[in-house]
Structure 1
Amino acid sequence: YSDNYFCYKLRPKKADYFIPSNIKTTTTSGEFAIVLQGLIEMRDEFTFETIKLYRRLFPGAIIIVSTWDYTDPSIVRTLELLGCEVVLNKDIPVCGLGNVNYQICTSLAGLKRAKELGAEFALKNRSDLRVYREFAFEYLKSLVELNTISSSNVYGLKGRIITQAGNWGQMFNPMWLQDFLYFGYTDDLINLFDIPYDDRNIHCYRKDNFDTKRVLTGETLAKWPASEINITKRFIQKYHNSDLSLKDWWNFLGEYCYIVDSEDLLTLWNKYGLNDLGQFYCEYDGKHNYRDPFRHISSSDFINIMNHKYIYEEWMENEKANYTIE
């Protein structure tokens, strides 16, 4: 007996299981590019199957795979046979803290290729992450079109940058935009990733900290910072001081970004423990997840922040120090 209801989700491994709705859309061929970036995930031929699925979900999309020039030639050939544009990047000597430079390199190269091919919008997508939602592009594009921003903004953005809700402590940690995927105008995503590399050569900053203290805090993640914070921070730093208070960050988030839930896109991240995605995506309340469930920013939380429904208080500035990952 349990005090809880148990739910589960099935996600097909193979693209062959997809049954299209046959609803037509106004999307034009080549309007949208998907940039799959990073190492090719070969478990269950995950990246290959993702491409096959995307061919069915987004029939007019340009699919670009931005990976490394040491990739097995047979894998590259398979990607080409699947109809992908393949961008092979030279390995870089300094990985950056938490391998952030690898993400910057492959994302920027893929997005630049998307622009060359004429795509107005782009989705930057980890190669080990998959979107299952049909019409996800139309949904994301509609969010950008419905939630416009000032054309004279200091960042030179055409529209909002959309990300998926994170799996940890976004609510009280400034500049935490989850880096699983980004969607927006192609020019805006190029702007986001056209940033300096991190000069540190540290692959796994978490392991060293776990070995000594057995715990990570939100404060530590902000100080180093974690890759997803690092990218946002370096982008903002191109235009002004990036040491934003939480209040400043909420204002930036509400004006220039948009956060959707994993369920909105039916995403699957083929990494770490997948058995309890509800906890991983912070879908549980405080009893089942962290002490304070509102350390996570869901799509509904984001809308409340955008519309100034949450009252900012000074105690929130230091809340990240109380957030721990054990």
Structure 2
Amino acid sequence: MLITLRDFAAKILLTFLSRIDRKAYATFIERLCFFGNKDPSIKDFVTIVVRPKNNYQKMVALDSATEDVAILIQGPIVRECDFTINTLKLYKEYFPRSPVVFSTLDHLTQIEKDNISALGVTIIICNKPVVTGFLNFNLQRETVLKGLNAVNKLGVTKVIKTRSDQRIYSRFAISFLNASLIQFPSKNITACKGRIFLLSTTTLANFPLHVCDMFQFGYLQDVVNFWSIPAHEESVNREAFTSKMANKILVGEALIQKTTIPEVSLGRFYATMLYGEQSIGDPSLTYHRMLQEVIGVVDQGQLDLCWPKYNSFEVSQDYRVPWILERLTFEKWVALYAGHAKKVISFNPDALI
């Protein structure tokens, strides 16, 4: 009850401040961080990032060639603060030459369809699979594949696959990603045209083949291959997953289970597609090879990517290293790619998730 009252009081105070003055809202939070950071009894430094929810019209689009890169946003529409529609508006402002596709299972209202279509965004409505898979993986797979099929008809060669509950704020994002594709070419051009760049947020260093399912950038055919994974044959909802987690799943078990964590499903599938089934016998070596040859990593901060669903409090767990969910950040990946760092990837099959 105390927590409920505290949260309610905080919401009232912040709402009051934000309506009086937009700066007062941010200043209040900043002052809390300022005094906390100066207090030696508090163990952590806290910094904040302030991003506009929808007041970005004054931002100037870069005069860069992005017409060969499509943006695919997939997932359910986020109606709170018109998050998804405002994200689509932002992308059309920042990247006017890039075609944008929104692929969803949702039943959009006619007003939403009209508003999205008016932006010049292609809408794809998908049917919900009967079997939802592990943590709704089949739903994500359906919207991604249908969205990529629509992108394939646009005549582009590259694609950004992102989610409807995330937003890229950097105007340099496409230029940066295009440059990364050139700067770090694939070392296995017989299997793929280029690297697929993943977000480090859920691409892990101590959990082989655990690759980000939320964000990919690369040549269209490579991303299509990445997502050509068969659908999961059984469903595991979040409650069942949480129950399993309480029983402590081992990393080694997660890597071999037929229906498993979406991130592992994708990493394992792409590895076997490139190197054969036998490659899973040594997941650490295979993961290392993939990261050197065909996969790249970018950080959330490099794209200025906002994920308010989970990252309103963007705490970096990397300060707790070593731990099993250590992120494979850009600097770690570059060190691995260049051969300047050893033991970037580790594997303990008996480690608990």
Deviations 1:119-176 (A, max 9, x none): 11110011111100012101101111121124642x3x11000011024x71121211
Distance 2:347 2:187 in 1: 28
Work out whether 1:322 is the aligned partner of 2:351. yes
* Worse overlay, 169-178 or 67-76: 67-76
Q: Kindly report which structure 2 residues correspond to 1:172-251, keeping only aligned pairs within 5 A, or say none.
A: 172-204=206-238, 205-210=240-245, 212-213=246-247, 215=248, 218-219=251-252, 221-224=254-257, 225-239=260-274, 240-241=276-277, 242-243=279-280, 244-251=282-289
Distance 1:308 1:182 in 2: 24
**Equivalent residue in structure 1 for 2:341, among 289, 301, 310:** 310
* Worse overlay, 229-238 or 122-131: 229-238
C-alpha contact (below 8 Å) 1:251/1:306 kept by paired residues:
no
1:321 partner letter:
D
2:231 partner letter:
Y
- Aligned residue for 1:32? 69
Distance 1:35 1:143 in 2: 19
Kindly state the Cα deviation for residue 90 of structure 1 after the two structures are TM-superposed: 1.5
**Equivalent residue in structure 2 for 1:9, among 29, 33, 49:** 49
Kindly state the Cα deviation for residue 223 of structure 1 after the two structures are TM-superposed: 4.4
C-alpha contact (below 8 Å) 2:56/2:90 kept by paired residues:
no
Distance 1:218 1:57 in 2: 41
- Aligned residue for 2:304? 266
- Aligned residue for 2:34? none
Kindly state the Cα deviation for residue 276 of structure 1 after the two structures are TM-superposed: 2.1
**Equivalent residue in structure 2 for 1:74, among 98, 111, 115:** 111
2:111 partner letter:
S
Distance 1:233 1:64 in 2: 27
SS of equivalent to 1:183: strand
Work out whether 1:20 is the aligned partner of 2:48. no
The structure with the largest alpha-carbon Rg is 2
Work out whether 1:116 is the aligned partner of 2:150. no
SS of equivalent to 2:160: strand
Greater helix proportion: 2
2:342 partner letter:
I
SS of equivalent to 1:200: coil
Name the TM-score, length of structure 2 as normaliser.
Answer: 0.79
Task: Identify if the C-alpha distance between structure 1 residues 133 and 216 changes in structure 2 by more than 3 Å, giving closer, same or farther.
Answer: farther
Kindly state the Cα deviation for residue 81 of structure 1 after the two structures are TM-superposed: 2.1
Distance 1:123 1:150 in 2: 21
Give the ranges of 4+ consecutive aligned residues of structure 1 lying more than 6 Å apart after TM superposition: none
**Equivalent residue in structure 1 for 2:290, among 231, 248, 252:** 252
What is the aligned residue count? 307
Distance 2:167 2:98 in 1: 15
Say which structure, 1 or 2, has more relative contact order (CA 8 Å, 6+ apart): 1
- Aligned residue for 1:99? 136
2:255 partner letter:
A
- Aligned residue for 1:147? 184
CA RMSD after TM alignment: 2.4
Segments of 5+ residues of structure 1 without an aligned counterpart are none
Task: Identify if the C-alpha distance between structure 1 residues 70 and 56 changes in structure 2 by more than 3 Å, giving closer, same or farther.
Answer: closer
Distance 1:21 1:46 in 2: 20
Name the TM-score, length of structure 1 as normaliser.
Answer: 0.85
Distance 1:265 1:130 in 2: 9
Distance 2:106 2:88 in 1: 20
Task: Identify if the C-alpha distance between structure 1 residues 120 and 321 changes in structure 2 by more than 3 Å, giving closer, same or farther.
Answer: same
C-alpha contact (below 8 Å) 2:208/2:347 kept by paired residues:
no
SS of equivalent to 2:48: coil
Segments of 5+ residues of structure 2 without an aligned counterpart are 1-38
